[in-house]
Amino acid sequence: LIRHDQLINSMAEGRAFPGFAEGKIAFMPTFKFDKESHSYDTSHKQRIPAWTDRILFLPSNGIRVLDYQSVPEAQHSDHRPVYGSYRISM
């Protein structure tokens, strides 16, 4: 799925968020879960999972991504939140 991610592809082609960057996605898609479950959409719609909750930043020589993850335990919604930790040097 990551190869077909719309945001990644749009940014690579310069069509969205020019100059912005994102940490490496090393977590499962964060959207289209069944609520209160670890299962992706089991309804009749069978929606395709996606990474919709994202953190973008303007890179500079002083910014380094330390951690970029989702929170799979947060099951109150069909989204899973994401968080990032960054080191900023001046």
User: For 33-78, how does the pLDDT look when each residue is reduced to its tens digit (9 = 90+)?
Assistant: 888 888 888 889 888 899 999 999 999 888 999 999 999 999 888 8
Q: 37 is in which domain, residue-wise?
A: 1-89
Q: How many helices (H) and strands (E) does the chain have?
A: 1, 4
C-alpha closest to that of 10 among 40, 51, 48 = 51
Count of domains observed in the chain: 1
pTM of this structure: 0.84
Q: By C-alpha distance, which of 54, 56, 58 is closest to 70?
A: 54
pLDDT score at 28: 92
Give mean pLDDT, residues 16-20: 96
Q: What is the mean pLDDT of residues 6-27?
A: 96
In this prediction, residue 33 carries a pLDDT of 83
Beta bridge partners of 56: 22
What is the per-residue pLDDT for 12?
96
